[in-house]
Chains A and B, each alone.
Chain A
Amino acid sequence: MNAMLDDAGITDRGDCDPLLDVRGLKVHLRVGDAIVRAVDGVDLSVRRGESIGIVGESGSGKSTLARAILKLLPNVEFAELQGEVRFRGADLTRISDGALRELRRRNGFSMVFQDPLGYLNPTKRVGKQVAEALGGKHDGAVSSRVQQLLAEAGLSDPAELARRFPHELSGGMRQRVMIAIALASEPALLFADEPTTALDATVQLQVLETLGRLHRDRNMAMVIITHDLGVVAELCDRVYVMRAGKVVENGDTIDVFENPRHPYAAQLIELSTRHRRGSTPAETKAALSTEALSSGVAR
């Protein structure tokens, strides 16, 4: 642990629980003349080694929530930004830039995004980009660590792969490179924003398996942001259902899926599971009767 983190108030020595504790987070953005209440009073916590899911449809604020927590919202005009985000005991909303950098560099948090091509440098070989995440010069020790990370992300023949450019890889492989980069800082908490949405079904399952394995083997906490309840069912211990900037339901994944209390959560789960049984139009109409049509859909 270094002095910068001590100054920031991170007294955690691997025993701070919950790892992440968000209280009353509000992110209101100014868009033109309008104010968008993207995140509107959210409480959320992640225990050490736990995996949670944040689900919601587009515009529900789930990605903004994650980006606000990780301080990845540059160049936006906040109408209001308040609340408390405690990570390993320190309030991220007040942390210095240096300490934030330190958290990103080592044992803090990392993030994996939906579209790996948008985050990988097209002009640099994959191995070099992983090495940059390690922060060191590109010597022998680094290159063996790079290969180790690529292998851990589920890529076979990492030595050969490290010499490739991103455009030479398939979508699933690119996402695994993103995962390798995210692992370079040995994060205590990994955020994944729609990590498998752009992938084919068979590849999706493989990448989810890899994330599940890393979560278990490294005792790494995960926050999975997704619109797909199947992904939550596969990976997450607990789930938060978001709608219009608010958490409408949260709890143990099995409890929420089997006994949803909020009608919107119940409807999402109903729609996600119904196809498996086949459906009739009448049933779908009933599920969509008033709630969905009145809000969310129409502006």
Chain B
Amino acid sequence: MTAPILEVRSVVRTYPSRGSSGWRKQYANAVDGVDLDVNEGETLAIVGESGSGKSTLAKLMLRLEQPSQGSVLYRGVSLDKLDRKQWRTYRRDIQAVFQDPSSSLNPRMRVEQSLGYVARRHGLAEPARLRAFLAGHLAAVGLDPPEQYLTRYPHQLSGGQQQRIAIARAIMLEPRLIVADEPLSSLDISIQAQILDLMRELSRRMNVGFVLISHDLNAVQSIAGRTAVMQHGRIVEIGRDIFDAPAHPYTRLLLEARLSANPREARTRQGKPLRTQPRDELSAGSADMLAASHGESAEATVTGKT
């Protein structure tokens, strides 16, 4: 295996938050001591429930956030120590795709302007050949015929089409890694399947790596090599076989909470009790619930890091 493209080293990201009275200042660790290597060409999934810190981790990888402690390394160099040249290659090599494609595309720009801006900025194509260059990338993400999409505004596209544009914008730069934060959750299930197929194809054809942030274990299972499970800002389990052999109780809980889509296995219909006890938001003390609503961790520590 080649060297990791990104290394996350003991990273902590702290956010200030208000105490329950609204006056006292408190701090919450959204990411609380994460170590993670992302290897060239691998598809690494990060799963967890809301508030587990997975999006913050994605932002730290993209340098949209700075770590409070620890560091993120790009090809062995800390992100805050990159020189100009390294910084430029980092900005090309690591691309981002976000959850809500309509908010990551400028509503006042046609697709051609949005993508053309990136292409010009990075000198990807001669001005005369720009249009053909963009059309080629739209075709690569399955928008056909591409010329028809170049002149549209984002609001004239469906959610799935917008997400394809966002992916096209990312792959134009021939990145080595795409950090995708919940790229599927705003899409219908048939379109999710198409985007997952597109990601597989890109990974096979161009050896692009993915960090796929998701709360949907079903979607992740079909595509990820390794999967990391986050809870309260920490990675509680990471591996290739967490679906078949979950080691951490929280992983088992998440797998257990998946709905089976098989009416014969349905638990609630038959009034069956749950086999494992879910995180009990109901019996938790009020302080915990308040903490939960502020995105803080209700538990002080999570044991059993695997």
A interface with B by C-beta (< 8 Å): 57-58, 154-157, 160, 167-173, 200-206, 208-209, 211-213, 216, 227-236, 253-254, 257, 267-269, 271-276, 278-279, 281, 284-285, 287-288, 292-293, 296-299
Contacts of B161 in A (CB 8 A): 297-298
Contact among A157, A168, A203, A297 with B160 in the assembled complex (CB-CB below 8 Å): A297
Q: Do A233 and B260 contact each other (CB < 8 Å), given the known contacts A57-B188, A170-B289, A202-B253?
A: yes
Q: How far is the CB of A36 from chain B (nearest CB, A)?
A: 15
Q: Which of B8-16, B53-61, B119-127, B268-276 participates in binding chain A?
A: B268-276
CA distance in complex: A169, B290 (Å): 7
Contacts of B281 in A (CB 8 A): 170, 172-173, 203, 206
CA distance in complex: A276, B279 (Å): 23
| Nearest CB in chain A to that of B196: its residue | A284
Per-position contact with A for B203-217: 1 when CB-CB < 8 Å, else 0? 000000000000101
Contacts of A168 in B (CB 8 A): 289-290, 293
| Nearest CB in chain B to that of A255: its residue | B263
Q: How far is the CB of A79 from chain B (nearest CB, A)?
A: 22
| Nearest CB in chain B to that of A154: its residue | B282
Q: Is the CB of A230 within 8 A of B221?
A: no
Q: Is the CB of B260 within 8 A of A230?
A: yes
Q: Is the CB of A170 within 8 A of B190?
A: no
Q: Is the CB of B266 within 8 A of A272?
A: no
Q: Is the CB of A267 within 8 A of B274?
A: no
CA distance in complex: A275, B192 (Å): 11
Q: Is the CB of B268 within 8 A of A212?
A: yes
Q: Is the CB of B271 within 8 A of A296?
A: no
Query: B292 in the interface, Cβ–Cβ < 8 Å?
Result: yes
- Residue with the greatest number of chain B CB neighbours at <10 A, chosen from A202, A254, A271, A299: A202
Contacts of B197 in A (CB 8 A): 281, 284-285
Q: Is the CB of A279 within 8 A of B283?
A: no
Interface residues on B, range: 35 or more
Contact among B193, B267, B268, B292 with A271 in the assembled complex (CB-CB below 8 Å): B193
Q: Is the CB of A201 within 8 A of B254?
A: yes
Per-position contact with A for B236-267: 1 when CB-CB < 8 Å, else 0? 00000000000000000110011111111111
Q: Is the CB of A253 within 8 A of B190?
A: no
Contacts of A254 in B (CB 8 A): 263-264
Query: B218 in the interface, Cβ–Cβ < 8 Å?
Result: yes
Per-position contact with A for B122-165: 1 when CB-CB < 8 Å, else 0? 00000000000000000000000000000000001011110000
Contact among A209, A228, A230, A267 with B190 in the assembled complex (CB-CB below 8 Å): A267
Q: How far is the CB of A186 from chain B (nearest CB, A)?
A: 22
Q: Is the CB of A167 within 8 A of B293?
A: yes
Number of A-B pairs, beta carbon distance below 8 Å: 151
Contacts of A273 in B (CB 8 A): 261-262
Contacts of B286 in A (CB 8 A): 157, 160
Contacts of B194 in A (CB 8 A): 284, 288, 292-293, 297
Query: B201 in the interface, Cβ–Cβ < 8 Å?
Result: yes
CA distance in complex: A281, B264 (Å): 27
Query: B200 in the interface, Cβ–Cβ < 8 Å?
Result: yes
CA distance in complex: A124, B223 (Å): 46
Query: B49 in the interface, Cβ–Cβ < 8 Å?
Result: yes
Q: Do A202 and B282 contact each other (CB < 8 Å), given the known contacts A272-B189, A273-B261?
A: no
Q: Is the CB of A268 within 8 A of B190?
A: yes
Contact among B218, B264, B269 with A276 in the assembled complex (CB-CB below 8 Å): B218
CA distance in complex: A268, B261 (Å): 11
Q: List 8 A-B contacts (CB under 8 A).
A: A202-B278, A209-B267, A230-B260, A278-B222, A284-B196, A287-B193, A297-B160, A299-B158
| Nearest CB in chain A to that of B244: its residue | A278
Apart from A216-B271, A234-B260, what are 12 other A-B pairs with CB-CB below 8 Å? A154-B282, A156-B282, A170-B293, A200-B50, A205-B259, A208-B259, A209-B268, A234-B268, A257-B262, A276-B218, A276-B221, A298-B161
Q: Is the CB of B268 within 8 A of A272?
A: no
| Nearest CB in chain B to that of A273: its residue | B261
Contacts of B293 in A (CB 8 A): 167-170
Q: How far is the CB of A153 from chain B (nearest CB, A)?
A: 10
| Nearest CB in chain A to that of B201: its residue | A281
